[in-house]
Structure 1
Amino acid sequence: MTGSAYRESTDRLAGMLMRQAAWPAALVVAANVLAPLAASARGAFETWPAAVALSLAAASAVAVLALSALLAFDALLFRLMASHDDETSGGAAVDDILAGMRLKRLPPSTRSLDERMAGTRRLLTRQRAALGLFVAMLLAAGFWAPR
């Protein structure tokens, strides 16, 4: 893919990734600020199922935040790709950056935009699964908390 269609689709993907990185992270941070207040007021730490659920919620919160950071990094890499005229030169620039940061070895050939997008979609799926686990564990802690 070349030209303005390539730049538009890559830039649109980068914008979507930034939104998908931001809102789950904001939700997790807000819930982590408010949940302990509600849990201690209701005595949620007094029962072991609620305490376990809150511990699992905390672990999944860390996973959501880490995956959000990875998605934001991917969004910046896609913005870098969008600054180039075609897919090949944009992919080569990203590969050079990643190799320079020692995050990946320089590949023998550049991956296509579709392959890069597939990897990012896998990250999105993992982030949503971690977010689902986080919400489920918060609800479970509320269910097991004493009345």
Structure 2
Amino acid sequence: MSGSAFQDKAGAFAAGLMVQVAWPLLLIAACMLATPVIGLAAGPQATPLSAAAWFVAAVGALATLAFSMLILFDALLFRLMASHDNEAAGGATIDDVLARMRLKPAPAATRSLDQRMAGTRRLLMKQRLAFALFAAVSLVAAFL
């Protein structure tokens, strides 16, 4: 892949990841701001089932936030990769950064941009599943 096409693809993917980080955070924050109102409306009639549902919703929210932070880190790595002239140099830099941070051992061969994007897409799917859990259980808990 030519330098400009590689940089454009990595940069566009990083920008898309930033959006994927922002929207779940905003929706979770909005739901958490509405939670005290819903909780006060339930009052002393709150059941153990509704308390358990809110706990599961909180776990889903925390999982979503954790995945969002991992995706944010990946977005920054893709921006770093896009700052290099070619794919091999960008990939080698990312591998070096991850090895220096002791997050991953130095690989024998540098992975391509498409392979790295596929791994991040799997992480996006996990984030969306955690958010779906949060949203579904929050709706159920709101009506218990």
Fold-level similarity (TM above 0.5): yes
Q: Distance in 2 between matches of 1:132 and 1:97?
A: 33
2:115 corresponds in structure 1 to 115
The one-letter code sitting in structure 1 at the alignment partner of 2:116 is R
Is 1:134 aligned to residue 134 of structure 2? Answer: yes
The CA RMSD measured in Å over matched residues stands at 1.3
Counterpart contact for 1:88–1:110, Cα < 8 Å: yes
Gapped runs of 5+ residues in structure 1? none
| Structure 1 residues 18 and 45: CA distance shift in structure 2, 3 A | farther
2:92 corresponds in structure 1 to 92
Q: Distance in 2 between matches of 1:25 and 1:44?
A: 30
The one-letter code sitting in structure 2 at the alignment partner of 1:143 is F
Q: CA deviation at 1:49?
A: 1.7
Compare 45-54 and 94-103 and name the one that shifted more: 45-54
Q: Structure 1 segments of 4 or more deviating over 4 A?
A: none
Identity of aligned residues (%): 53
| Structure 1 residues 45 and 3: CA distance shift in structure 2, 3 A | farther
Q: Distance in 2 between matches of 1:108 and 1:24?
A: 36
2:40 corresponds in structure 1 to 40
TM-score (normalised: structure 2): 0.95
Q: Distance in 2 between matches of 1:40 and 1:122?
A: 38
Q: Distance in 2 between matches of 1:41 and 1:8?
A: 50
Is 1:70 aligned to residue 95 of structure 2? Answer: no
1:25 corresponds in structure 2 to 25
Counterpart contact for 1:39–1:45, Cα < 8 Å: no
2:5 corresponds in structure 1 to 5
2:49 corresponds in structure 1 to 49
The one-letter code sitting in structure 1 at the alignment partner of 2:55 is S
Q: CA deviation at 1:55?
A: 0.4
| Structure 1 residues 44 and 70: CA distance shift in structure 2, 3 A | farther
Once the two structures are superposed, residues 4-61 of structure 1 have per-residue CA deviations (whole angstroms, 9 ceiling, x without a partner) of 1110010000000011011101211221222133222223871122111100000010
Gapped runs of 5+ residues in structure 2? none
SS at match of 2:143: helix
Q: Distance in 2 between matches of 1:40 and 1:114?
A: 49
1:60 corresponds in structure 2 to 60
